[in-house]
A = this chain, B = another copy of it.
Amino acid sequence: MTDLALQIGENIRKRRLEIGLSQDNLALTAEIDRSYIGRIERGSVNITIEMLYKISIPLQCDPKTLLPEADKRLVQ
């Protein structure tokens, strides 16, 4: 697990709870497997940018807002 994946997972979870969406609903609307959403939120997978854009639609937010500030240590 990288810090980057952990922070992205945390941001996705925070936004999902903010708009009162369950993991099931997010998985359904984003057409993603429910267990994969759980792994994303736990930061245990390194998602593609396409997946980020897909998830941002039901989360009703700009995908960039789900990304942490750039920091070299995030990818070391």
Contact = CB atoms under 8 A, between A and B. Distances in A.
A21 interface: no
Contact of A57 (B2, B54, B62, B72): B72
B46 A46 contact: no
Mostly, the A contact residues are helix
A49 interface: yes
Contact of A46 (B49, B62, B75): B49
Interface of A: 2, 4-5, 8, 46-50, 52-54, 56-57, 62-64, 67, 70, 72, 74-75
5 contacts: A4-B49, A46-B50, A49-B49, A54-B75, A63-B67
